[in-house]
Amino acid sequence: MSSNKGNNLKRNLKIATGTVLTVGVMSLSLLITPKIVLAKETGATLSEMVSYTMFEHELNSIKQENNITFHNPELFNLLKSNANGELTIEYLHSISSIILEEPLSNNDLSDLKYLPNLTRLEVCGMNIDCNDLIYNQKLIVFNAVDCNLSNLNELPNTVTDLYLQGATLPDNIVYVPYHTRTLEINNTNFNKIHFKNPEELTSFTFEGYALLDLADLKECTNLKTISLTRCPNVSNSHLLKAMSSLSKVTLDDYSCIWLDKETLNSIDLDKESKEKYLSYIEELNQIATEINNANKTEEEKLNAIIVYITDKIDYDIRVSEEQKGYKTLVTGYNTSPIYFALNKDVGICVNYACLFTALANRVDIDNYQPSSTNHTWNMARLEGENEYSAYDMNGLDSDEIRNLLLQNITNDLSFYSFDLESINNPDFETNIKPIIISNIVQRIGYLKSNTLKGMEAQLFLLVGELIVLYTALSTKLHYDKKREEQNTKTFKYKRV
């Protein structure tokens, strides 16, 4: 490897060792080290406790390795370059923080098991199998940016701070480790948040278009702070009233889409914001009351919503023509979509769509609001329909279409009740949609359990120890997942 390449590698990787660990990370590890829990408290079965014991033996075995084989040469070279060319076991054991500012071409992170004191891992733009991290049982902070995360349920339970930014989850479930206290989800699509230990969570932050059901937080009885911003698809918002442990709530203009007056009044919010949002909610309720005529069918109500919105708002040509200052306009429209929709005569897709969502919610039309890179629109499912259909206010904003909708004539309208899969337009590419998730496998995973009390627990451990001793005589325990399938060159070094 040339020196220039080595320097580039150093710039792409930030490593903190025990001697240069920042005060912030040191304080973090001191203040939020996970508590020791009794196996009996977690409902651990005999097989789980035996598994815990075997796993602990495996952890100790890895720490005592004299000969180490790296299977990811790229990671090996990064670590070596940051160790000034001399990679030793002592150096690996001193590493406490790794920040990959750029993705590795090789996504295998299983070699991180040789970093037993790793407490912080930040990764960008990679396909991560969280099985690769199961041996990092001191990991406290995990931050994944624009990553594809598989087996998130295998993330170590020691993680207290979990950050997901632009992440992709193959099963659409956010699995939260046992000791997680801070959870931040930004622009990450999911349909379910599954807590291994909901009572541990104290801080929750969410931003994005994913379908957030606040019922998932119902058992987070120690939740102190919650922030819900730029999120149009929130259900069961009334549950905020029951979250008595909350000391700080952060909301924005988007909350008026899904909040009712009673719930907002129960929230401890600054006076100015509360009064502003209450006025928006009151106006939205009045519009919905006019639309929600008892004699109207759901289709007629939906058509009335579209007519109202497209009559109220014109698309801002300054944005479509990219006139001077249009980026500032776009920022404003996206930051306060309801304010602009109610108080201005022009807007963009987010103002059309958010106003539709707010009104559809109030007249009990089943709906949600997806987004793509450059666009947002609406999906609705009327009574008797099995699937959601798409409605795009941008394409329905014309006097001719409004006249047709007033007569409930909807045949051959291009942007009315269309199937997303039937069009080939990148503006409508999205993975945001309702998915029914059931039968989640309840698997807690490994928990550090140094203090076991009671004869039953001691018996479990004794059985585990006997099994481990027997197994150790017949085979050497190692984590060799998919190694036989790999043909990459390996790098070895011995303890010095």
What value does the mean pLDDT take over residues 485-491? 41
* Contact yes or no for 356/391 (Cβ under 8 A): yes
* Percentage of the chain lying above the pLDDT 90 cut: 67
Structure confidence by residue, pLDDT tens digits, 155-173: 999 999 999 999 999 999 9
| pLDDT score of 1 more than 50 | no
Count of structural domains within the chain: 2
Residues 119 and 21 in one domain: yes
Integer Cα distance of 336 and 253 in angstroms: 5
| Per-residue pLDDT, 463 | 55
Between the alpha carbon of residue 300 and those of residues 130, 303, 363, 407, the distances in Å are 49, 5, 11, 9
Lowest-confidence segment of 270-279, 302-311, 400-409, 419-428 by average pLDDT: 419-428
Residue 51 has a pLDDT of 76
Any domain includes 290? yes
Residue 439 lies in a domain: no
Residues 475 and 353 in one domain: no
Asked if residue 465 and residue 374 are part of one domain, the reply reads no
Domain assignment of residue 475, given as a range: 3-210+450-485
| pLDDT tens profile 78-118 | 999 888 878 899 999 999 999 999 999 999 999 999 999 99
Query: Is position 496 within any domain?
Result: no
Q: Given pLDDT bands bounded at 50, 70 and 90, which one contains residue 150?
A: very high
Residue 230 domain-assigned (yes or no): no
pLDDT in tens, 388-397: 999 999 999 9
Which DSSP helix (H) or strand (E) runs through 265? helix 261-266
Same domain assignment for residues 161 and 23: yes
Looking at 428, 461, 477, the residue that finishes a domain is: 428
Say yes or no: 379 and 475 in one domain: no
- Look at residue 267 and tell me if it is in a domain: no
Over 90: is that where the pLDDT of 270 sits? Answer: yes
Q: What is the pLDDT of residue 424?
A: 85
User: Torsion-angle region of residue 381: left (phi > 0), alpha (psi -120 to 50) or beta?
Assistant: beta
Which CATH number does the domain housing residue 353 bear? 3.10.620
Residues 353 and 469 reside in one and the same domain: no
In a domain, 433, yes or no: no
Residue 25 has pLDDT above 90, yes or no: no
For 140, 159, 200, 452, the CA distances from 33, given in Å and listed in that order, are 8, 9, 13, 19
User: Is residue 56 located within the same domain as residue 200?
Assistant: yes
What is the Cα–Cα distance from 170 to 187, expressed in whole angstroms?
Answer: 15
Mapping DSSP to helix (H, G, I), strand (E, B) and coil, where does residue 369 land?
coil
Q: Say whether both 313 and 205 belong to one domain.
A: no
67 in a structural domain: yes
pLDDT of residue 360: 98
In a domain, 215, yes or no: no
Taking the CB of residue 250, how many other CB atoms lie within 10 A of it?
14
Is residue 328 domain-shared with residue 284, that is, in the same domain? yes
Pair (178, 301) in one structural domain: no
CATH number at residue 123: 3.80.10.10
**pLDDT of 43:** 53
Position 470 confidence tier, pLDDT thresholds 50, 70, 90: low
Looking at residue 49, what is its pLDDT? 61
Q: What is the CA radius of gyration of the chain?
A: 27
Rounded (5°) CA angle 165-354-163? 10
Residues 20 and 168 in one domain: yes
Q: Are residues 27 and 173 in the same domain?
A: yes
pLDDT for the residue 440: 80
- Residue 444 — pLDDT band, cuts 50, 70, 90? confident
